[in-house]
């Protein structure tokens, strides 16, 4: 009797494994979030409203010190003793400067229909009068992102089942390129080419202008006197820069002509050569498939397909 029971259990396990392996590839919509032309979205933190800039170029969600006080956010007492003293200030660096920050915890962090619990974020700096902070890839990395700036909407999905290709809801002219993977960096980076030179580009929704570092631009054969003739401007009100037009920027099989980029007089923070800002993303409809580590670009952009009826 025991032998027969064992055989039955083994057969049942095999059938369950086969069914799991053959489970259909499905796409579940988790949230639809309106996004303004300036890249900001509305969220709720412990029930209080906040306006955050969607920033795929940052790895950590951050809010201003004023917003943290307004929302009554404090360091998590359960982890403050183990994570190098969360109440000690940390320095976050980016284009335009650095800020001292401390880590705080939100009991409820709501982005549309998604609620994160005991979500850790950084608090520091001051409000810029239009936003309370940044929503970054530490939150976004668990979802496939339908990023549709032309329609002022983002949709967050999760993919389930056995998928031999990414499940997406885009049609028309599509261009697919692998995301460059890194164990300690969830920001979406891709390989691009200018004049047949391979460069690393970061999709940075937190930057309004696409930009390239001066050293990289000079390595492409652009002369200093060429840059002196370009119009000058400031980034974040502090960094001196010029705007240069590049005849062709190639991403996978897609080539964009006459791409304007700010040439930054600033040091590189990592191996990134180019920041593809919101001006770039307003030209396309993007699908960032974190589950498949792919970037799918729709150009020219067209409206999103409706979500099929879910099987459950």
Q: Worst-scoring range by mean pLDDT, 15-29, 123-137, 149-163, 187-201?
A: 15-29
**pLDDT score of 19:** 42
pLDDT, average across residues 244-269:
90
* CA-based nearest residue to 264, from 215, 205, 202: 215
d(Cα 312, Cα 310) in Å, to the nearest integer?
Answer: 6
Q: Which residue has the tokens 């006459």?
A: 258
Q: What is the pLDDT of residue 257?
A: 94
For residue 303, pLDDT beyond 80: no
> What are 285's two structure tokens?
């409809």
pLDDT for res 236: 61
- DSSP code at position 74: B
Compute the distance between CA of residue 122 and CA of residue 24 in angstroms, rounded to an integer.
Answer: 39
- pTM score: 0.82
> Mean pLDDT across the chain, nearest whole number?
83
Q: Which of 230-239, 252-261, 269-278 has the lowest mean pLDDT?
A: 230-239
Q: What is the pLDDT of residue 140?
A: 95
Report the alpha-carbon angle 118-122-126, nearest 5. Answer: 135
DSSP designation for 130: S
Residue 11 contacts residue 72 (beta carbons within 8 Å): no
Of the ranges 77-91, 155-169, 201-215, 286-300, which one carries the lowest mean pLDDT score? 77-91
Assign 203 to helix, strand or coil: strand
Q: Taking residues 231-254, what's their average pLDDT?
A: 85
pLDDT of residue 307: 58
């Amino acid at each position: 009797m025991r032998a027969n029971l064992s055989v039955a259990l083994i057969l049942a396990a095999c059938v369950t494994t086969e069914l799991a392996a053959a489970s259909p590839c499905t796409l579940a919509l988790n949230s639809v979030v309106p996004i303004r032309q300036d890249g900001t979205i509305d969220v709720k933190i412990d029930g209080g409203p906040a306006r955050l800039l969607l920033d795929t170029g940052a790895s950590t969600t951050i809010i201003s010190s004023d917003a943290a006080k307004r929302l009554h956010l404090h360091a998590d007492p359960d982890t403050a003793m183990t994570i190098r003293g969360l109440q000690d200030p940390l320095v976050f660096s980016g284009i335009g400067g650095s800020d001292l920050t401390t880590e705080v915890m939100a009991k409820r962090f709501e982005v549309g229909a998604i609620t994160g619990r005991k979500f850790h974020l950084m608090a520091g700096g001051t409000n810029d009068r239009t936003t309370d902070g940044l929503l970054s890839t530490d939150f976004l990395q668990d979802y496939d992102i339908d990023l549709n700036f032309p329609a002022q909407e983002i949709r967050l999905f999760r993919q389930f089942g056995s998928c031999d290709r990414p499940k997406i809801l885009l049609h028309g002219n599509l261009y697919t390129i692998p995301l460059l993977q890194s164990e300690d960096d969830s920001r979406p980076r891709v390989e691009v080419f200018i004049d047949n030179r391979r460069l690393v580009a970061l999709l940075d929704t937190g930057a309004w202008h696409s930009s390239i570092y001066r050293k990289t631009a000079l390595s492409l054969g652009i002369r200093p006197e060429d840059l002196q003739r370009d119009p000058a401007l400031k980034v974040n009100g502090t960094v001196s820069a010029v705007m240069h037009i590049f005849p062709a920027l190639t991403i996978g099989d897609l080539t964009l002509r006459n791409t304007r980029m700010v040439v930054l007089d600033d040091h590189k923070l990592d191996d990134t050569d180019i920041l593809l800002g919101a001006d770039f993303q307003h030209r396309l409809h993007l699908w960032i498939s974190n589950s498949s580590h792919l970037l799918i670009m729709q150009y020219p952009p067209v409206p999103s397909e409706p979500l099929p009826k879910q099987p459950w």
